[in-house]
Amino acid sequence: MVLALKTSGIRPAAPTFEEIFRDSEEAAASLDCEAPVLCFSPATLAAQAKQFIDGFSGEVAYAVKANPCPKVITVLAQAGVDVFDVASTMEMEAIARICPGAELHYHNPVKSRSEIATAWHAFGCRRFAADSHEEISKIAQTVGSSIGVEIAIRFCLPSQKASAHDFSSKFGADENTAAELMKRAAQCGFAPVLTFHPGSQCTDPQAWVRHIETAGRIAEAAGITLTRLNVGGGFPACYSGSSGPGLATYFRAIDDSVSAVFGDNPPALECEPGRSIAAPAFSLLTSVKLVRARSADLFLNDGIYGGLLEVTQVSDLLPFYRVLRNGQVVSTTDQHAFTVFGPTCDPLDVLPVPLLLPSDIRETDVIEFAGIGAYGMATATNFNGYGSVSQVTVKNAYTGDNNC
């Protein structure tokens, strides 16, 4: 046994997925949960990837930043993903180790010259994103006018107000600049393509439609036939305060608008989801360290410096959650709003919204958070000496809401 079961009292640090349980209830019943436990369902991950591969009419790249865990990459590669959106050379290394033949899209629009050179020479990367003349110059000066290099011009629209994270304040050229950049990339000897990101956890399919219409105008203004269009990530996962209408609705909106804009000569499509693929495959078991009954304060063994950072950025991204006691779901209408603190000594380590929990919640009860697979593990820190998690495999993931 690698993990500490309830009786052993010894828990080695951060074991990784060797233990297999039917579901998180069984895991919670068997483990001591002294450290938070990540429950990973490879089947759920593969099913999410398959939804994209079968339903999206183009190439599906996985945005590694959402969850770079080697197990995740391995399952996705087995499910048929062989293109990866990478943001750094570290991510390239992670992919090269697991799937050496994979195609890499270096879609971080800002890269140092050294990163560009490493991507080009060490990892054979032939796709670079840019949203400025300066970045195109850096790429041209680093790789020369090499045949077969594609520059993905990243454009943006003003905030669509439909996403949890709006990227347009940081990345993306406006429509006119994007047309100039396409021409500039072509003059440098590169193949120009277009890319956009409507914002992470974007719930409105029309946001994609507006971007695709803009892509049509940009290519026309540049006088360049668009051969490839990357419609980004941004597809939503399910949170208690935010979810979308289902992936098929997004895919239909994208197909319809590409037909309307490009007619008989459509660009080849690509997407690069992270959140929507990775989120539902993991849940997080956190255990209650203390309940201060009088003030309705509750302390967990994980918090915003661990797997729950995103809740502090956008409270709509509060995951679905439930309480387990001895592996059984506690369902009661006798609930109370608790202020939930994480384990560190930092007063900022508190969830921004109270959680409705059973009034009799007690030490060692487990609060399970669903859909923690994207940007939860990836952004967790070891602040204050916390952050170590146990990782187990489950056959069925707790996703919080069967309708999602």
Ligand X SMILES: Cc1ncc(COP(=O)(O)O)c(C=O)c1O
Question: Which residues make up the interface to ligand X (CB under 6 A)?
Answer: 63, 65-66, 85, 107, 197, 200, 232-235, 272-276, 374
Nearer to ligand X, 65 or 211 (CB): 65
Tell me phi and psi for residue 360, to 5 degrees.
-95, 25
Nearest residue to ligand X by CB is 233
Q: How far is the CB of 167 from ligand X (least distance, A)?
A: 7
Nearer to ligand X, 200 or 243 (CB): 200
Query: Of the candidates 44, 63, 118, 392, which has an alpha carbon nearest to the alpha carbon of residue 230?
Result: 63
CB of 278 to ligand X, least distance (A): 8
CB of 242 to ligand X, least distance (A): 12
3-state SS string for 237-271: CCECCECCCCHHHHHHHHHHHHHHHHCCCCCEEEE
Which amino acid does the sequence have at 224? I
Closest distance of CB 373 from ligand X, Å: 11
Question: Between residues 235 and 299, which has the closer beta carbon with respect to ligand X?
Answer: 235
Of 317, 332, 331, 323, residue with least CA distance to 373: 317
Q: How far is the CB of 179 from ligand X (least distance, A)?
A: 20
Min dist. Cβ of residue 368 to ligand X (A): 22
Of 343, 375, 367, 188, which is closest to residue 285 (Cα–Cα)? 367
Determine the Cα–Cα distance for residues 310 and 194; give it in Å rounded to an integer: 29
Query: Which contiguous run of DSSP H or E holds residue 61?
Result: strand 59-63
Q: How far apart are CA 156 and CA 172, in angstroms?
A: 5
Give me 93's structure tokens: 């290394």
Instruction: Give CA–CA dist 70/67, Å, rounded.
Output: 9
CA–CA dist 292, 301 (Å, integer): 15
Q: Which is nearer to ligand X, 60 or 351 (CB)?
A: 60
* Closest to ligand X by CB, 63 or 77: 63
Q: What is the DSSP string of 172-184?
A: -B-HHHHHHHHHH
CB of 258 to ligand X, least distance (A): 19
Which single residue is written with the structure tokens 């069984």? 26
Q: Which is nearer to ligand X, 127 or 197 (CB)?
A: 197
Looking at the Cβ atoms of 85 and 204, the one nearer to ligand X is 85
In one letter, which amino acid is 338?
Answer: F
The tokens for 233 are 């990530």
Residue 57, SS3? coil
Report the nearest approach of ligand X to the CB of residue 38 (Å).
18
Cβ closest to ligand X, residue 273 vs residue 387: 273
